[in-house]
Chains A and B, each alone.
Chain A
Amino acid sequence: MRERLVMAMRFSAVVGSCLLASALVSQPVNAEPAKPANYPNRPINFLVAYPSGGGMDITARTLAAQMERVTGYQFRVENRGGGGGIIGNTYMATQAKPDGYTVGILANPTMFMNILYQGAHFTKEDIEPIAGITFEPVIWATRTGSEFGKMDFKQILDYAKNNPEKLKMGVIPNASFDIATRIVAKQTDAKFTIVPFPGGKPAIVALLGSNIDISAIYFSEIAQYVKDGSLKALAVADNKPLIEDPQLPTMKALNIKMASSTWGADRFAAVPKGTSKEIKEYLSYLIEKTLADKATHEAFKKVGIEIEPKTMEEQQKTFAESYGEVHAYLKDTGQLKASQ
């Protein structure tokens, strides 16, 4: 009986995500704006603030390949890694030429943290978003075979409340993982022992090796371990269901107040301030057109990314709202850089 229920739930999850995906695919694309004169006449660079091989790099490379297929223009990926994105983001904001040949494939709230928490030498006005690619929220996951594997998220929070600092929680410090976890802890009085990791992979190793109990992580990073049964997702740090697993409890469902579409990775395309309106609109159209293509969805799915395209206006709105949320959180916790 139980198995059947699980099967039914899985089936509905698959159908649900298919419906959602098709709804996204059928989104209308804005009318084609005028092509700027003599643009582009050489390859366009996608700038990534992380080394090759990581999640952002894979997003940019997949997008570049699909852009070439759909638009016929040439796209290159350039990696400027280091300092948790701060070096590449600073380059994008202060040194890249606003000529339409450097397009940043960037991630928030990391970039906002660079500005507001680390005190990077640029402001959010130096960067102009032109299209949204995907938003991947933070989730929490545990080992299926552990004692927490038998509990749901609510029970785990109660456990952490009654057994302060017993539960070892892996996070990547000063990033969405850390902050979303602290927001949950504050509102539910759950007390975790927070264990910092330099990235998702080391956290997964520690989780699989029983050195921590739960980790804040991205679903795409643990998808294969969920599929083979070793890990289990617990909840999503957003207010709308996760595309890959719509059954996962949201913050709203758990009565936890959390900003929407903020704590995760908001991956978007942007150009440096001062890029002409014509080029911005044309680039934005090209990206939108590529992302609306069905084969693009398949290509991203193959590398484990569910795309969620946003138009230039939508992305600018998200950009401003999420900046406000990050600013407010840091101000409340007294971590805002003095100059901000």
Chain B
Amino acid sequence: MLEGLYAAMSPTNLFVEILGVLIGIVFGAIPGLTATLGIALFVPVTFLMNPGAGMIMLAGIYAGAIFGGSISAILINVPGTPASIITGWEGYALAREGKAPLALSLAALSSGVGGLFSAVALLFLTPMLSSLALTFGPAEYCALLLFSFTIVTVVLDTPMMRNLLGCFVGLLLVTIGLDPVTGAARFTFGNADLMSGFNLIAVLVGFFCMTEAVFLAFDSLDDSTNNEVISFGKGNSIGELIKTLWTHGITYLRSSTIGLFLGILPAVGPVETPFIAHTIERKFNPKDEKFGKGSITGLIASECSISANVGGSLMPLISLGIPGSGAAAVFIGALTLHGLQPGPLLFKSEPVLIYTFFWGFIAVNLFMMLFGMFGARYFALVLKLPKRVLATFIAVFSILGSYAINNSMFDVGVMFGATVLALWFRALRIPILPIVLAVILGPLLEQQALVLFTTSAGIGEVLGRPIADGFFAISLIIIVFSIVRRLKESRAKPG
């Protein structure tokens, strides 16, 4: 273990740690360029390095990109990666209050705390915790997913029927493509491009980035807002940030744990995680009126859970050879090309390498936290740009980013389609979040439900699994409580 520490602190490795994090932040901050793409692009570069340095650099890009996405989410309401959607709600609202540097450095701090939490867990608990990945069968996944859907439909302030409608539209969208069992084409109308379904990244870039570019462009037409200069309050001292570690300690701990746990599960990645962590935190803080509209607790919950998820997803990857997310899957390919097969044998055959990587991952998270906390003021300068320039930049990168996924113009079309849909739904006042959640979780739910129905003998077998029962029970309680609450509210209203 100590040998690994020395190796991780060697000048070369320190250099790749910093380089990886910086590349990651840039990739993450640019809308349309995701962590997975960043890793995939830099895999060939790592062939020039020894395996340890290569792995550390990729981990740096992964962690950096996940934080970088929050920078653009907070500053201009454009999540740089799909993982930062929730951070965008809280952070952008704070930025509008003139607290952009606070939101940014807080995001960096919570991201760092979450990352370090998972890195320490990675270092000491990997063999123990990675077996969790195997205890989650189809019944548990289905229960967890139903729980997520329940939360979104019930907890959002918008009318429940509209939330349900959103979920329905999202689930409908993801049925397009090949049926996972029969391979039959569903709603493809003979179009080969539609066979793989709509690309998730293209859809999300359309929903969030291009839509925001349209709004910015509209705003810039209106001369009065163009002169609006966003001023920052006096810089928040680092001391004030550190204080949140005490005042919001439990939030940090809870969200990091949730992120870590969801990261270990092979099918849940950094995109899904903040939704779940954020809603759970909201349940624990019913008095926080600002939740979803600039709440510090919400921001911490989102950022902590995403970064903890990164470390969590590396656990089953290293010890079982099972990727915990899309980016982690690319990681496996990169390791294999280095002649290293991640899995049960790697731990025994290359212990120094593994521990070098684990220590390197801790260092990566430290650097990310420092860059974020001290760079916040400089990142925030973006806000001084005129809105029309920002709108153009975002539009250009949305198009480039969706093209880069598969080098296909079709995905660019999908992105524009999603933009139109998002604008239309906004006009109809149907919330976009249930659609997003359904689009992200729908394919996973279909796959797991399918396995559940083909393998389980009946309802009794499903109810015999305690973890699944727990999720079902919580979902049920939430539904009952919110129905009771809504009934009371409607009675209390006069007339």
Which of these, A168, A173, A195, A208, contacts B134 with CB under 8 Å?
Answer: A208
On chain B, the residues within 8 Å of A82 by CB distance are 195-196, 199, 406, 408
By the criterion CB–CB under 8 Å, are B180 and A196 in contact? yes
On chain B, the residues within 8 Å of A174 by CB distance are 182-183
Interface string of A210-229 (1 = CB under 8 A from B): 11100000000001110110
On chain B, the residues within 8 Å of A53 by CB distance are 40, 43, 329-334, 336
CA distance in complex: A173, B181 (Å): 6
Please name the 8 residue pairs, one residue from A and one from B, whose CB atoms are nearest each other, closest first: A53-B333, A209-B134, A83-B195, A174-B183, A82-B196, A302-B339, A83-B196, A224-B343
The verdict on A118 contacting B195 (CB below 8 Å), with A196-B450, A205-B322 known, is: yes
Interface string of B63-92 (1 = CB under 8 A from A): 000000000000000000000000000000
A72 within 8 A of B: no
Which of these, A87, A168, A196, contacts B196 with CB under 8 Å?
Answer: A87
CA distance in complex: A304, B343 (Å): 13
Interface string of B40-71 (1 = CB under 8 A from A): 10010001000000000000000000000000
On chain A, the residues within 8 Å of B346 by CB distance are 224
**B6-14, B135-143, B282-290, B379-387 - interface stretch:** B135-143
The verdict on A212 contacting B337 (CB below 8 Å), with A52-B43, A87-B193, A121-B192 known, is: no
B26 within 8 A of A: no
Beta-carbon contacts under 8 Å, B332-381 to A: 332-334, 336-337, 339, 341, 343-346
Which of these, A121, A211, A304, contacts B138 with CB under 8 Å?
Answer: A211
Q: Distance in Å from the Cβ of A58 to the closest Cβ of chain B?
A: 6
On chain B, the residues within 8 Å of A57 by CB distance are 333
B225 within 8 A of A: no
By the criterion CB–CB under 8 Å, are B181 and A228 in contact? no
A282 within 8 A of B: no
By the criterion CB–CB under 8 Å, are B337 and A58 in contact? yes
The verdict on A193 contacting B344 (CB below 8 Å), with A120-B192, A198-B447 known, is: no
Q: Which residue among A53, A87, A193 has the maximum number of chain B CB atoms within 10 Å of its CB?
A: A53
On chain A, the residues within 8 Å of B323 by CB distance are 201
B463 within 8 A of A: no
Beta-carbon contacts under 8 Å, B300-341 to A: 320-323, 329-334, 336-337, 339, 341
By the criterion CB–CB under 8 Å, are B451 and A86 in contact? no
Q: Which residues of B contact A (CB under 8 A)?
A: 40, 43, 47, 133-138, 177-178, 180-183, 185, 192-193, 195-196, 199, 266-267, 320-323, 329-334, 336-337, 339, 341, 343-346, 406-408, 447, 450-451, 454-455
The verdict on A86 contacting B192 (CB below 8 Å), with A52-B40, A212-B455 known, is: yes
Closest to B345 in A: A224
A235 within 8 A of B: no
Q: Distance in Å from the Cβ of B47 to the closest Cβ of chain A?
A: 8
By the criterion CB–CB under 8 Å, are B344 and A230 in contact? yes
By the criterion CB–CB under 8 Å, are B322 and A204 in contact? yes
By the criterion CB–CB under 8 Å, are B320 and A61 in contact? no
Interface string of A182-208 (1 = CB under 8 A from B): 000000000001111110011011101
A17 within 8 A of B: no
Interface string of A81-108 (1 = CB under 8 A from B): 1111011001000000000000000000
Starting from the known contacts A173-B180, A211-B138, A227-B345, 8 additional A-B residue pairs (CB-CB under 8 Å) come to A84-B178, A86-B195, A87-B196, A118-B185, A194-B454, A196-B450, A205-B320, A304-B336
By the criterion CB–CB under 8 Å, are B339 and A303 in contact? yes
A144 within 8 A of B: no
Q: Which residue among B177, B321, B345 has the maximum number of chain A CB atoms within 10 Å of its CB?
A: B321
On chain B, the residues within 8 Å of A120 by CB distance are 192
Q: Which residue among B40, B343, B346, B447 has the maximum number of chain A CB atoms within 10 Å of its CB?
A: B343
A124 within 8 A of B: no
